[in-house]
Chain A
Amino acid sequence: KAGVTQTPRYLIKTRGQQVTLSCSPISGHRSVSWYQQTPGQGLQFLFEYFSETQRNKGNFPGRFSGRQFSNSRSEMNVSTLELGDSALYLCASSLALGSYNEQFFGPGTRLTVL
């Protein structure tokens, strides 16, 4: 069974641009969560999607948005990029919502904003 895949793996953008990152969960998994990892803040929760609905959102500005499609694939978008958005963006999938579900992480997309 294929793992969680994320594309692209690396991305370089300039300030003011926008970016779209993609995450394909493990087949059969319906929940996708997104996380941002920076050296200063560590891992922080961005969003959680289940059945095409955003179930939870972290403490990030409205420039960060996302969506989930009917096949459970998910995208996140960051508009008007800032230098501080440079980070590793990770998505994780699980079978369902709830604290007892193991999360499976993708390899991440490393975004550099110049």
Chain B
Amino acid sequence: KNEVEQSPQNLTAQEGEFITINCSYSVGISALHWLQQHPGGGIVSLFMLSSGKKKHGRLIATINIQEKHSSLHITASHPRDSAVYICAQPQGGSEKLVFGKGTKLTVNP
């Protein structure tokens, strides 16, 4: 059974802090997705990665295939980063994603 675990479930930070959200999965992967969901429901795809590291602005995603672990980092966090961050792993060769429970991030000014 493919399981995706995220930690922490909730995270509160002060503006400017460095944030790390972790994602562990149980089976080998072809790609892992990081998604952002703002209040109201809309989901935005942040990263899709299968190895190494990707960076977009203040966001950095890393993955360690051997340890079956990925991290999402936010540098110089800002209140607008407040959202739920979800990691997801596709099953097999399809788009069938298995999702973590999400990490609710609150960044206070």
Residues of chain A touching chain B, judged by Cβ–Cβ distance below 8 Å, are 31, 33, 35, 37, 42-45, 48, 55-56, 58, 88, 90, 92, 94, 97-105, 107-108, 110
Contact = CB atoms under 8 A, between A and B. Distances in A.
A55 B94 contact: yes
Chain B: number of interface residues, binned into ranges: 20 to 34
Interface in B93-109: 93-102
Given A43-B86, A48-B96, A58-B96, A102 B48 contact: yes
B96 A90 contact: no
22 contacts: A42-B102, A44-B99, A45-B96, A55-B94, A55-B95, A88-B41, A90-B43, A97-B94, A98-B94, A99-B31, A99-B92, A99-B94, A99-B95, A100-B50, A101-B95, A102-B33, A102-B48, A105-B35, A107-B41, A108-B41, A108-B43, A110-B41
Contacts of B86: 43
B100 to A, nearest CB: 8
Contacts of A94: 95
- Residues of A contacting B: mostly: strand
Contacts of A37: 41
Contacts of A42: 99-102
A48 B95 contact: yes
Interface string B59-97: 000000000000000000000000000101010111111
B45 interface: yes
Given A42-B101, A42-B102, A43-B86, A103 B95 contact: yes
B27 to A, nearest CB: 12
Point out which of B31, B43, B88 has the most chain A C-beta atoms below 10 A from its C-beta. Answer: B43
Given A42-B99, A45-B98, A99 B42 contact: no
Contacts of B42: 105, 107-108
Nearest to B6: A42
A44 B90 CA distance: 12
Contacts of A90: 41, 43
